[in-house]
Amino acid sequence: MEWVNAVIQGTLLGGLYALFAAGLSLIFGVMRLVNIAHGDLIILAAYLGLSTTVAFGMHPLLALIVVIPVMAALGYVLQRVVLNRTLGGDLLSPLLVTFGLSVIIQNVLLNVYSADPQKMGAGALETASVKIGTVSLGVLPLLTFVIAIAVIAGLQWIFYRTALGRAFRAVSDNQDIAQLMGLNKHHIYGLALALSLAVTAIAGLLLGIRTSFDPAVGGSRLIFGFEAVIIGGLGNLWGTLAGGVILGVAQTLGALINPGWQLLAGHIVFLIILAIRPNGLFPRMSE
């Protein structure tokens, strides 16, 4: 029963990793941009949520009403003003720019909030649980997993059922022909990063409720997001959820064998899958 419990807890943890990865998968699918600052943007969203809850005295989940539009607006402006200038040439330019952005975000957060770990209080939600048979499930991890499924289903619907999704796929397939058809690729890219950072806002607030955070932990969130994307397959949103679940289960099973092996087990599973299937388990694109 201990192993069954570890698999269930790992599956729920995978929902959070899928939220880390969904934004990465989205912008890579649309504009082939690898955003090194993605983890730090998750932490930035967590701090914005913290400031919102303190300033307005609201529940952290309600803070999403403020944080999602702020992060989406930040994403659009960032893409239009900075990142669009780096696309179209070699892959090194956007990598260097987003790396620099990562350093800037960390230092700004350090100066504004200090290096002390912070956590958002969500009251009874943090400790509430439901018992199914002999397994106890935390309400917060369960809610996180449900939100992850809803977010990925929403992104999938936007991509394949809306005009915006058709524009995303058009500029992703062929920028020049898309522009000849009247699409402004810079505007579409801005909307893609805005949508990505809206998802990042959700991931940041749920992370801030679940555990403590500080300005330096963005790097590890980025690694978890990358691993979930690679395991699931590039450009496949549902594959990203599968990747997050596989990573989460690997970590909880590793921790069950030895508490010191939790992160190591996840990395080993990632490397094994990368060696066997370099494009991931369910790839939609070959690069």
State CA 237 to chain mean position distance: 11
Q: Is residue 10 part of a domain?
A: yes
Confidence of residue 174 (pLDDT cuts 50, 70, 90): confident
Q: Which pair of tokens denotes residue 110?
A: 């350090």
CA pair distance 247, 258, nearest whole angstrom:
16
Which range marks the domain in which residue 222 is found?
A: 1-276
Least confident segment among 44-58, 121-135, 260-274: 121-135
Average pLDDT over residues 197-201: 96
> Which span out of 114-123, 134-143, 201-210 was modeled with the highest average pLDDT?
201-210
Q: Is residue 255 part of a domain?
A: yes
Confidence of residue 28 (pLDDT cuts 50, 70, 90): confident
Q: Could you tell me what percent of the chain has a pLDDT over 70?
A: 98
Cβ-in-10-Å burial (0-12, 13-18, 19+) of 131 comes to exposed
Least confident segment among 12-26, 85-99, 140-154: 85-99
Q: Pick the residue with more confidence: 182 or 211?
A: 211
Q: Is residue 283 part of a domain?
A: no
Q: Is residue 284 part of a domain?
A: no
Q: Is residue 285 part of a domain?
A: no
Beta carbons of 270 and 20 less than 8 angstroms apart: no
CA proximity to 192, closest of 17, 5, 35, 2: 35
Find the CATH number of the domain harbouring 188: 1.10.3470
C-alpha distance from residue 50 to each of 58, 61, 67, 177, 276 (Å) = 10, 11, 10, 44, 41
Q: What is the pTM of this model?
A: 0.93
Per the prediction, the chain carries an average pLDDT of 91
**For every residue of 215-271, which 3-state class applies, written as one string?**
CCCHHHHHHHHHHHHHHHCCCCHHHHHHHHHHHHHHHHHHHHHCHHHHHHHHHHHHH
Q: Could you tell me what percent of the chain has a pLDDT over 90?
A: 65
The amino acid present at 214, given as its one-letter code, is D
Q: Is residue 286 part of a domain?
A: no
Q: Is residue 187 part of a domain?
A: yes
pLDDT of residue 41: 96
DSSP type of residue 200: H
- Count up the domains in the chain and report the number: 1
- Is the pLDDT assigned to residue 177 strictly greater than 70? yes
pLDDT of residue 32: 82
Beta carbons of 14 and 247 less than 8 angstroms apart: yes
- Total residues belonging to the chain: 287
- Is the pLDDT assigned to residue 66 strictly greater than 90? yes
Angle, helices 218-232/2-31, rounded to nearest 10 degrees = 90
pLDDT of residue 99: 94
- Is the pLDDT assigned to residue 287 strictly greater than 60? no
Cβ-in-10-Å burial (0-12, 13-18, 19+) of 75 comes to buried
Q: Is residue 22 part of a domain?
A: yes
Confidence of residue 284 (pLDDT cuts 50, 70, 90): low
